[in-house]
Amino acid sequence: MLEGIDPLLTGELLLHLDRMGHSDAVVIADAHFPAWALGERVVDLPGTTTPDVVAAIRTVLPLDDVPGIDLMTSADGEVLDVQHQLMAAAGTDAGTTRFVERFAYYDVARGAYLMVRTGETRAYGNALLRKGVVGRSGV
């Protein structure tokens, strides 16, 4: 355990976040997402929600330039409550968020450095964050 580190940030997760380079992506996935099928590196955090994990990761990971995050477009195109929570947790808004069609999102996610699979059960509760330059402008 480390002081000042969010308890959701396990040693394994911190190791992978540290190894990420500028513009590398991390997908924070809901429980329905095919993380193990798409990702080479997967960290499981059962019992967590995607907004909570995004908020924890943002305490140590600055975002790359726009778009701040990628979210999966819902079936009806509406921005869902979980997606509003994800944007708030990431410190972004609709103007700095890119919405990606479901199957195109899988293609984008396939290139991510890391997948973090949560226990989130709300549909479309996935976020892709790109790592910015550490120390450039803070988190």
Q: What Cα–Cα distance (Å) separates residue 74 from each residue in 2, 30, 80, 125?
A: 37, 14, 8, 10
Closest by CA to 29, choosing from 135, 124, 138, 139, is: 124
Active site residues: 22
Q: Which helix (H) or strand (E) element contains residue 52?
A: helix 50-58
The 3-state DSSP class for residue 97 equals: strand
